[in-house]
Amino acid sequence: MKFEIDPGKNQMSSEDYIVLTELNNNIQMLSSFHEEGAILEFQTDKPASTILFPIGKIPNMKRFTACHRYEPFWMKPKAGDCASDIPIETQYLLVELENDRCMLFVPLIDGPFRCALQGSEDGALVLVAESADPAIVASHVVGLYVNGGEDPYAFIPTSAEIVNRMMGIGRLRKDKSVPDFIDYFGWCTWDAFYHDVSHENLRIGLESFREGGVQPKYLILDDGWQSEKKASTGEARLTSFEANDRFPEGLSSTVKMSKEGFDIETFLVWHTITGYWGGVDGESLKGYGVRSVQRRNSEGIHHYSPSIESWWGEIMGLTPPEQAHHFFNEYHRFLRECGVDGVKVDNQAVLESVAYGYGGRVEMMRRYHEALEGSVHVHFGGNIINCMSCANEMLYSALSSNLTRTSTDFWPQKPASHGLHLYTNAQVSLWFGEFVHPDWDMFQSGHPMGAFHAAGRAVGGCPIYVSDKPNAHNFDLLRKLVFEDGTIPRCDDPGRPTRDCLFRDPTQEDVLLKIFNKNSLSSVIAVFNARYWDNPGDSHLVTGVVRPSDGRPEQAELYAVYSHQKQELRLMRANEEWEISLPQLSFDIFTIVPVVNGFAPIGLVDMFNSGGALLAGMWIKKNEGGFYIQGSGRFLAWSKSRPHQIMMNDESVQFKYNERNHWLEVQVEPGEMMVYI
């Protein structure tokens, strides 16, 4: 889309409508990107390390959705219809106009400056640029990208490519690999044991999975394993690379036990990007130039979290960025020699609070992440989960690391958090999923909301791992997510909200949260009532519709649509509606398959993502086709006529066919399935 600025009218417009009015005179548009959105440069008379640039007003705005930071570490969405409600620390803004077109506003990274958006009291849009170092000042910033069109799912990927190319500091998700363990089922120790994790508790937990017959293939040894102590200033600092005394024979013994005794293939350990929450103890770990520094966060963060500096202590033992490469390589070399295969690196956005004197937050993140990713590549082949890292300077500048947590934690004791958890991950995935591969976090299968979270992970395209306590599993639920060999039917893309709920808040409004994704032969939509009411006596039904077109499938005249909860199969046209009513914090999952040559394979219907079990398909001719099946179980398809024969791994198999409703059912095993109609 082409844009232009009219200085005489103080407005910015596209070919057929006005985008911004009351435009600030100190804004220029860079000409090289006119054909595909606009890049805006902002100027001010007085150089500063933090600058507020008024932009202008968005006319004819109907609704907006924005992802903003409410802590340094995490984002959450905000939906509304008034520009003054656009939150402080907005890192991505999508606006729906009265003509149903959508406008995208992306604050950028320019050199040492990082930008964010917010609304003003009079309804104007404001850009905030900051370096987080008083010595780093500027009077002009290339700070905002603008684009738009009728279909946000079409122009967002194009916009991400332009933003990435223009900033030149990172790579897109599609251009980076993901760790192999992402396609397997995993276990994390955090909610299982919290800081009481130990060698013995780990063994008990793994034994509990084995007894139930669903075993994780990767394990994350989370916070609680490291050696640390309280400094005189109150914060906890890392004192050794060795595990603490709850691992009496050392970390290598625990890794060996997990791999040899319980078939763990990938063993990851947790640490923060600064070593521990309070950094590194320089007296215990010498040679890294550790300095005691005071934490300082921006006004935007203080707006939401005014006491954040006291969370882990106001002072940190910081390894300076010039020593980060040395620190990570020695730490990770030790871990690798213990048998560790990768790391989960937490608390990353804390770097902005200690960037004074180090060139600012963007430079601090760049130097630390280059050192971190280089070490992870050398020692662990790229096996890393980024965590607490939702500052846009990290999301845009990660060169090789990809897998990144996109929401705050699964909170077992906070009922109101469960709908927000899925809503947040889907909204963050819409834009930032173009730059990193979202990780929707662990959950607990035996928790009352375990199935609700499992349904979200099934369509999220994300890793599936739990934090179950020993003997507190729901193995029936896990078998809806995990195949016998420990692999999972993972969707192809990050899960995103459908168009009809994109600009709504399903945790506060009577609208269903619908998250869509795709598999090799199908689309899938998970539908949630994400609202929570304190009064359990109220039913609080929320009603909506599901259409095949919501899942953006390949174009077809007819689609076979299967409801997992109702176990019902319908033939539908693209915009035909299936009405659904859900009580609070409940869900359904719909598999959508184009009918091709009178046949539509739904997949393994006892799995939440039934279509994900079909790895590939090929229709050779009108009456003969085949595909590969990843797991075993009950296979369902819609077939216009009774097949003459079905072959499974070159052997003929029995099947059931209902002439009335055209249901075809077969018990299958992994391998190649051929259908002759």
Return d(Cα 14, Cα 155) in angstroms, integer.
15
What pLDDT is attached to residue 35?
64
45-79 as b/e: b if 16+ CB within 10 A: eeeebebebbbbbbeebebbbbbbbbbbbbbbbbb
Q: In 99-256, where do the E strands start and end?
A: 102-107, 109-110, 113-119, 125-130, 138-149, 185-188, 218-221, 226-230, 236-243
Residue 519's pLDDT band (cuts 50, 70, 90): very high
pLDDT for residue 534 is more than 90: no
DSSP state letter for 35: G
Collapse the DSSP code of 635 into the 3-class scheme (helix H, G, I; strand E, B; otherwise coil) and give the result. Answer: strand
Close Cβ partners of 290 (under 8 Å, ≥ 6 residues apart): 279, 280, 281, 282, 317, 318, 319
- H or E element in which residue 206 lies: helix 199-212
Q: What percent of the chain stands above pLDDT 90?
A: 94
Return d(Cα 119, Cα 83) in angstroms, integer.
6
CA-closest candidate to residue 602, choices 660, 522, 671: 522
What pLDDT is attached to residue 625?
84
Q: What is the pLDDT of residues 246-302, one digit of tens each?
A: 999 999 999 999 999 999 999 999 999 999 999 999 999 999 999 999 999 999 999
Return d(Cα 623, Cα 641) in angstroms, integer.
10
Return d(Cα 275, Cα 228) in angstroms, integer.
10
Average pLDDT, the chain: 96
Q: What is the pLDDT of residues 340-363, one digit of tens each?
A: 999 999 999 999 999 999 999 999
What pLDDT is attached to residue 624?
84
179 near 384, Cβ under 8 Å? Answer: yes
Q: What is the pLDDT of residues 108-165, one digit of tens each?
A: 999 999 999 999 999 999 999 999 999 999 999 999 999 999 999 999 999 999 999 9
Q: In 395-487, where do the E strands start and end?
A: 403-405, 437-439, 464-466
Q: pLDDT: is 533 or 438 the higher one?
A: 438
For the chain, give every domain's residue range: 4-168, 181-405, 512-676
What pLDDT is attached to residue 76?
98
pLDDT for residue 538 is more than 80: no
Collapse the DSSP code of 304 into the 3-class scheme (helix H, G, I; strand E, B; otherwise coil) and give the result. Answer: helix
Return d(Cα 602, Cα 323) in angstroms, integer.
54
- Tell me how crowded residue 321 is: count the other CB atoms within 10 A of its CB: 20
From 98-102, 384-388, 499-503, 562-566, the region with the lowest mean pLDDT: 98-102
What pLDDT is attached to residue 15?
79
In terms of CATH, what superfamily is 181-405? Aldolase class I (3.20.20.70)
Collapse the DSSP code of 397 into the 3-class scheme (helix H, G, I; strand E, B; otherwise coil) and give the result. Answer: helix
DSSP state letter for 295: -
- Between the two ends of the chain, the Cα-to-Cα distance in Å is 48
pLDDT for residue 390 is more than 60: yes
pLDDT for residue 665 is more than 80: yes
510 near 489, Cβ under 8 Å? Answer: no
Placement of tokens 């809806």 in the chain: 480
Return d(Cα 603, Cα 519) in angstroms, integer.
11
Return d(Cα 180, Cα 488) in angstroms, integer.
12
410 near 387, Cβ under 8 Å? Answer: no
Residue 616's pLDDT band (cuts 50, 70, 90): confident
Average pLDDT of span 500-516: 97
Amino acid (1-letter code) at residue 124: A
pLDDT for residue 536 is more than 70: no
Q: pLDDT: is 441 or 30 the higher one?
A: 441
Give the count of alpha carbons within 13 A of 559, CB side only: 29
What values do phi and psi take at 518, rounded to 5? -140, 155
512-676: what fold? Immunoglobulin-like (2.60.40)
What values do phi and psi take at 48, rounded to 5? -155, 165
- Tell me how crowded residue 479 is: count the other CB atoms within 10 A of its CB: 17
What pLDDT is attached to residue 1?
79
Residue 32's pLDDT band (cuts 50, 70, 90): low
What pLDDT is attached to residue 258?
98
pLDDT for residue 574 is more than 60: yes
Q: How many residues does the chain have?
A: 677
Close Cβ partners of 298 (under 8 Å, ≥ 6 residues apart): 50, 130, 132, 352
Average pLDDT of span 550-564: 96
pLDDT for residue 34 is more than 60: no
Whether 181-405 shares its CATH topology with 512-676 is answered: no
What pLDDT is attached to residue 620?
55
Q: What is the pLDDT of residues 37-53, one digit of tens each?
A: 999 999 999 999 999 99
558 near 573, Cβ under 8 Å? Answer: yes
Rg (the chain; Cα; Å):
26
CA distances to 518, 519, 593, 653, 675 from 619, rounded to whole Å, are 19, 16, 14, 20, 10
What pLDDT is attached to residue 537?
63
